[in-house]
Amino acid sequence: MDGYVPGEQPQDGKLIKLNTNENPYACSPKVKAAIGRVCQQGLQKYPDPGATAFRICAADLMREELPGIGPDWILCGNGSDDILTIVTRAFVEGGDLVRFPRPSYVLYETLAAIQGAQCDIVDFEDDWSLGADFTAAKKRLRLAFLANPNSPSGTVISPEKVAEIAAALPCPLLVDEAYVDFSETNCLSLIAENDQVMVSRTLSKSYALAGLRFGFLVAQPHIIRELVKVKDSYNCDALSIAGATAALADRQWFDETRGAILATRTRLIDLLQELGFECVPSHANFVWCRHPHHSAKKLYQDLKTQGILVRYMNYPNYGDGLRITVGTNSQIDAFVKSIRYLFG
Ligand SMILES: Cc1ncc(COP(=O)(O)O)c(C=O)c1O
């Protein structure tokens, strides 16, 4: 099998990094304080295998959208990639089918391959909706993934439509909400109506904690109980549980940072359009674009030599483009300056 190839992660800090949708701002100072307290207490003991403190805090936060939610509706993971792995391991075995749209998050393909399963890939329609193929019954179809907002497009499918998709699908649906905090809608409420719906989230993007590794899944308690059997006992460490819990509790930091990113997203789209790029309207912290007269691959390479890293993606049946993470205003200024220079 082919392994998953993560986005480039240069460790020297010299490039302006707009390639893997990280948050450009430092996380809440409360995260560092919480991690410091754990270090002071010592790390000789195993962490809470259930990350209970986080689940209590997260359930409180989501109760307005999902009344009835308690900590037993939540499973924590070492990033949401760990959650996706746990769910795939639980539902899929050799010879099964895993369905997901294209272009979307490439890891779904690798997770299916690890299980020895086949991928049932459904191309998005031109307007980024999904056609009837996405809900068609097929023998041995065991799991469907839907990144919503989607990556690399940044588009969303409305919760009403996702509810219809989930009801029509003959298998569980994992709605991957890694970017949902930059969107206006989410699918949490669907979980109460349909136990086939699971929603995964991450603290990597909107909470600026990609380096900490913390994600979680929301699903009905009888589903969570089964998934717990599949996870590693201590998949979240003591530092990440404390840091993630503190991050969730700091609503002021969250609101301010989210507001800054949304404002810069609007600015980035305006600037890209001024430069002649065709941009897909984004509900995430990145923008997917193409230029009618400039090759995306060449732009990616030339930007890299200028010290700016963006994500070049090329998908069968769809083609290529650039995915630009919403950075700080000054990072976006530097990006635009480089593009102007390259365009001559
Ligand atoms: C659609 C989608 N899902 C999940 C993830 C995984 O995020 P993490 O493992 O950092 O929580 C990413 C990361 O880029 C993503 O783009």
Ordered by start, the domain boundaries in the chain are 16-26+252-343, 29-249
**Ligand 1: lining residues by beta carbon, under 6 Å:** 21, 79-81, 105, 147, 151, 176, 178, 202, 204, 210, 215
Cα 80 to averaged position of ligand 1 atoms, centre (Å): 6
> What is the position in ligand 1's atom list of the atom closest to the CA of 214?
11
pLDDT at 12: 85
Distance, CA 192 to ligand 1 centroid (Å)? 24
Ligand 1 closest atom vs CA 81: 9
CB atoms within 10 A of CB 180: 25
Which atom in ligand 1 lies closest to the alpha carbon of residue 105?
A: 1
Q: How far apart are CA 212 and CA 204, in angstroms?
A: 8
Q: 280: CA distance to ligand 1 center in Å?
A: 20
Distance CA 296, CA 260 (A): 27
Residue of 20, 85, 151, 235 to mutate, ligand 1, most atoms within 8 A of C-beta: 151
7 CA from centroid of ligand 1 (Å): 11
How far, in Å, CA of 4 to CA of 22, rounded?
A: 19
42 burial class (0-12, 13-18, 19+ CB within 10 angstroms)?
Answer: exposed
Residue nearest to atom 7 of ligand 1 (CA): 80
Q: Identify whether the C-beta of residue 154 lies closer than 8 Å to the C-beta of residue 313.
A: no
Residue 340, CB-side half-sphere exposure with 13 Å CA sphere: 8
The C-alpha torsion from 52 through 194 and 205 to 120, rounded to 10°, is 120
Helix or strand holding residue 244 (H, E): helix 238-249
**16-26+252-343 against 29-249: fold identical:** no
Mutate to test the pocket of ligand 1, among 20, 21, 54, 107 (most ligand atoms within 8 A of CB): 107
Dist. CA 200 → ligand 1 center (Å): 10
Query: DSSP letter at 185?
Result: -
Greatest C-alpha distance within the chain: 60
Judge: domain 16-26+252-343, CATH 3.90.1150.10: yes
pLDDT at 71: 98
CA 254 to the chain's CA centroid:
17
What pTM, to 2 d.p., does this model score?
0.98
Topology of the domain covering 29-249: Aspartate Aminotransferase; domain 2 (3.40.640)
Render each residue's pLDDT in the chain as its tens digit; 344 residues.
888 888 889 888 889 999 999 999 999 999 999 999 999 999 999 999 999 999 999 999 999 999 999 999 999 999 999 999 999 999 999 999 999 999 999 999 999 999 999 999 999 999 999 999 999 999 999 999 999 999 999 999 999 999 999 999 999 999 999 999 999 999 999 999 999 999 999 999 999 999 999 999 999 999 999 999 999 999 999 999 999 999 999 999 999 999 999 999 999 999 999 999 999 999 999 999 999 999 999 999 999 999 999 999 999 999 999 999 999 999 999 999 999 999 98
